[in-house]
Copies of this chain bind each other. A is one copy, B any other.
């Protein structure tokens, strides 16, 4: 019995360490534009830990993206939901959202805005800077691919129902591991886009995985997706649950490897 005591003590400590989620609005700038992200970490964990950036859908940094950051933080990471659009620029109107996205998509500004967010995360006192990853939804999925292609020092990037961009000719060898989680019936991601992405991954020799969730369409992870009333955009509980598990596996691999 006596020799069990130290073990028991550790156990009691573990059980008494309760989650204490700390969240914080963080204002920062990118080339003069004021942005505001949402930082989250669990104060019950001690010491430095990996940092994971979360990139929002084309709506902007809404509660959905913030909640995802908190879910990531609950896994034991420092999470930062960055802001691609500008402080307070967020909408529920698909046309307005498309306008904001169009301002960034396919331009150098997308990578710059994302990089500004990543810098905030990397400099946080609790983050162990070599251990960084990024995940994103919809436009945010495209964004994290671009970040991965850009050589931003990420261990890995994960896209949920994101548009599938390809590396630029001037991009160096891709070091970030890539996980694409795709709704197999997503009408917004064209088959030519998928083929081009996979071909580019083969050519560059990137470490990539792509998961097709049968029956899932665009925005399958967002419980509010159906509210937008956009065709081909809907929540899918099974694909949401499965992709979250696959993300957890991915992060675990990224940060346990030497």
Docked pose: A207 CA to B216 CA in angstroms: 10
Are A184 and B207 interface neighbours, CB within 8 A?
Answer: no
Chain B residues with Cβ below 8 Å from A48 are none
Are B212 and A198 interface neighbours, CB within 8 A?
Answer: yes
Are A242 and B249 interface neighbours, CB within 8 A?
Answer: yes
Fill in one digit per residue for A202-233: 1 if any B CB lies within 8 Å of its CB, else 0: 10011111111111000000000000000000
A17 within 8 A of B: no
Fill in one digit per residue for A99-134: 1 if any B CB lies within 8 Å of its CB, else 0: 000000000000000000000000000000000000
Are B4 and A209 interface neighbours, CB within 8 A?
Answer: no
Chain B residues with Cβ below 8 Å from A245 are 249
A220 to chain B, nearest CB (A): 12
Are A211 and B209 interface neighbours, CB within 8 A?
Answer: yes
A238 within 8 A of B: yes
Docked pose: A211 CA to B209 CA in angstroms: 7
A19 within 8 A of B: no
Are A209 and B210 interface neighbours, CB within 8 A?
Answer: no
Fill in one digit per residue for A44-68: 1 if any B CB lies within 8 Å of its CB, else 0: 0000000000000000000000000
Chain B residues with Cβ below 8 Å from A43 are none
A8 within 8 A of B: yes
Are A210 and B207 interface neighbours, CB within 8 A?
Answer: no
Query: Assuming A202-B185, A249-B246, is B209 touching A212 (CB within 8 A)?
Result: yes
A166 within 8 A of B: no
* 4 further interface pairs, Cβ-Cβ under 8 Å (given A11-B11, A184-B201, A184-B208): A184-B198, A207-B214, A208-B214, A209-B214
Could you list 25 examples of A-B contacts with CB < 8 Å? A4-B8, A4-B12, A8-B8, A11-B11, A178-B214, A184-B202, A184-B208, A184-B210, A198-B212, A201-B214, A206-B214, A207-B215, A209-B211, A209-B213, A209-B214, A209-B242, A210-B211, A210-B212, A210-B214, A211-B212, A212-B212, A241-B253, A245-B249, A246-B249, A249-B249
